[in-house]
A and B are shown apart, each in its own frame.
Chain A
Amino acid sequence: MTNENTLSQLQKKTHFKIMVLLILFALVIASFLISIRFGAHRVSVNQIFRALLIDREGLTYNIIWKIRVPRSLVAAMVGVCLALSGGILQGVMRNPLASPNIIGVSSGAGLAAAITLVLLPNYSFLLTPMAFVGAFLTTIFIYTLSWKDGINPLRMILSGIAISSFMSAIVNTILIFHPDRVHNTLGFTIGSLSAKTWVHYRMLWPYALVGFFLAIIMSKKLNILMLGDEIASSLGLHVESTRVVMIMIASLLAASSVSVVGMLGFVGLIVPHMMRIIIGSDYRFLFPASALFGASLMMVCDTIARMVMDPMEIPVGIIMALLGAPFFLYLLRGGKMYRAGS
C-alpha cells in the first residue's frame, strides 16, 4: 500500500467522525428548538425567534424565556455532564458497566437529599449544595476504601456497589419512618427537571464547560489508558495520578448535575456506549459526541416527559429509562462493538 493511500484512508475515517459530530451538533440545535416549541402553551418556531430576538415581552416571551429556555438549557447541561462523567469512568475503570452511579454519586446525593428533605424539611432550600457535597464525599469515601497499593478498578466498582446498597438502605429506613414525606423525595430519586430555572442553569454551565475542556485535554491519555496499566505506564503515562484526576473530574461533573436534577445516572451509562457504537472508542471523538448526544437526548426526553400526559408532567428519569433502554438495546444488538468473543 502506498503512502498516499494510507493517508487518504486515515483522512476518510477522520472525515466520517467529523461528519458525525456535525450531525450531532445539528441534532442539539433541533432538540433545543423542539423542547422550547412544545409544551402546555403551544408556540410556533416563528414565535420562538420573534420572542427571543425582537419582541421581548408578553406571555409568549415569558413562557419561552423564563420557563422553557432555562429548563432546556438545564436539561442540556445535565446531559453533557452525565454523559462525559460516564464516558470518563468507563475509560478509567476500563469497565463498560461504569457509570456515575457506581462511584457513589447517585447514592451519596440521594442520601443527602433524603436527610435534607425528610429529616430537615426547614432546610430544604439547601438541597442542591447538600446533595453536591454528599455525592462528592461518597466518591472520595469509595476511592479511599478501594485504595490499597493503588486503585484496582474492579475493587472500586464493587466497593461502589456495596456502598450504594448501604446508603439506599439508610435512605429507605429514613423513608419508612416518615411515610408522609416520601412524596417530597420522589422527584429527586427519579430525576426531574420540573421548575428548573436560570438559577440552576448558572450552577451547571461552569461545570459542563470546564468538564468538557478537561475531558478533551485528557482524551489522549484515556486512549492510552485503554491499553492497560502496563502499556500505559510504559508509554510514559503516570497511571495512578491520571486515574485520580479523572475520577475526581467525573465525580464533580456528575455531582453537579445530580444535585440539581436528581438521580439520572442512567444517562451516563448509555450515552457513551451509544456513541462508542457509532463513532468508535477513540476518546478524542467519543467525548464531544457523548456531550452533544447527551444534551439532545436529555432535551428530547424532557419534552416528551412534559407532553405525554399533558397537563400532568412525568419525571424525565422515567422517560429516559423507558425510551433510552430499548434504544440502547437496539444499538447494542446491531453494533459491531460488542460482538461475542471480543
Chain B
Amino acid sequence: MLEVKNLQLSYEDDIVVKNVSFSIEKGTITTLIGPNGCGKSTIFKALTKLKKPDLGSVTLRKKDIKEMTTKDISKQIAFLPQSPIVPNDFTVRDLVGYGRYPHLGWTGRLSKKDQEISEWAISETKLESLQHRHVSTLSGGERQRAWIAMALAQQPKILLLDEPTTFLDIGHQFELLELIHRLNAFLDITVLMVLHDLNHAARYSDKIIALKNGIKFKEGTPREVVSKEVLEGVFDVEVRVFNDSSYNCPYCIPVNSKNKETYPITNKRFKCS
C-alpha cells in the first residue's frame, strides 16, 4: 500500500532521518514509536509531500509520490498533525466540509453528495450534537474527533495521525483509539500513527516501528518490539515487560532511567537577601 525506501530527510544540514525503509500493508494499523526528535513527524511530512526527501522514495500503491500531485495524494492520504490550528469561528461542520476539498471541482462548491459525506463523517465520529459549535470551543477530545471527522470526509485510504492522544486524559485517549480502531476494522482504512504511550501502541497496532536518532531500530509485531531489549535500546530506560492475558498483548512499565549521565546537583543555594 505505502512503501518507504531508503528515505533520508534533513533540515538544512541536519540529517534527521537516515536510510529508513518500511512498508505498510493494506488494512493494518502501524505505529511509529521513538524518543522526541527521532524524526517521526518529519517522516509524515515526507509522506504528504510537504518535505522533499534528500534520498530514497515513497511509493503509494506502486506509484512514486514524486510523480503525483499534492491533490492526487490528498485523495488517498489524510494527515492529522500534532497540533492543528483552526480560526476561532470555524464550526465543526465547516471543518468537515473542508475535508471534501480534494474531491471538489474548480468552483469549490459542496454538492449534495459532498454534504451527505460530511454528515456521514460527523455521525461516524458522533459529533451530531456538536456540529454547529465552533471548533475552538470544544474540549480536547471533541476537537480531536472533529479533526478525524474532517479526515474521514476526505475518504482516504490511509490515515496518518501524529500523536493523536497526546493532550487527552486516559478516558479520552481510549475513546479516540477505539474510534481509530473502528475506522480501521469497519471502513478498512489503513492507519499509520505516532504514539508515545507504548501500551497503547502494543494494544492497538498490527505492527510497531521503533525509531532512534533517525534510524529504524526495530520493526515487528507488538510482541517483538515491546520487549526489554528493544525498549531499553530505544529509550534508554529500564523497563519491565508483562503480558496482558485478556488481550494477549505485551505491556510495560518503565522503572528507571538508564541514562548514566547524572545531573551534578551541588549544595549551593541562591539565597534571597
Contacts and interface: CB of A to CB of B under 8 A. Distances in A.
A337 interface: yes
Interface string B95-111: 10011011000001000
Contacts of B77: 234
Interface in A1-55: 1, 3, 6, 9-10
A interface, over-half SS:
loop
A9 B132 contact: yes
Nearest to A228: B85
B131 interface: yes
Interface in A148-168: 148-149
B78 A234 contact: yes
Contacts of B48: 230, 233-234
Contacts of A6: 93, 119, 131-132
A203 to B, nearest CB: 31
A98 B102 CA distance: 28
A281 B73 contact: no
B84 A237 contact: no
Contacts of B93: 6, 10
A239 interface: yes
Contact of B131 (A1, A149, A234): A1
Interface residues of B, number: 41
B70 A1 contact: no
B81 A224 contact: no
Interface string A231-273: 1011111110000000000000000000000000000000000
Interface string B158-177: 00100000000000000000
B84 A235 contact: no
A239 B75 CA distance: 16
A84 to B, nearest CB: 18
Contacts of B95: 227
B132 A281 contact: no
Interface string B1-29: 00000000001100000000000000000
A336 B94 CA distance: 18
B101 A237 contact: yes
B46 to A, nearest CB: 11
Interface size band for A: 20 to 34
Interface in A281-317: 281-282
Given A6-B119, A149-B12, A224-B98, A233 B70 contact: yes
A280 B94 CA distance: 12
Contacts of A235: 74, 98-99, 101-102, 154
Contacts of A1: 128-129, 131
Contact of B79 (A230, A280, A339): A230
B88 interface: yes
A152 to B, nearest CB: 12
Contacts of B45: 230
A280 B89 contact: yes
A39 B75 CA distance: 59
Nearest to A148: B12
Q: Which of A1, A220, A227 has the most C-beta atoms of chain B within 10 angstroms of its own C-beta?
A: A227
A236 B89 contact: no
Q: Which of A1, A220, A235, A239 has the most C-beta atoms of chain B within 10 angstroms of its own C-beta?
A: A235
B49 interface: yes
A228 B84 contact: yes
7 contacts: A6-B93, A224-B101, A226-B86, A229-B50, A230-B81, A336-B88, A339-B88
* Shortest beta-carbon contacts, A-B, top 10: A236-B74, A234-B79, A236-B71, A220-B108, A230-B81, A236-B102, A281-B87, A235-B101, A280-B89, A233-B50
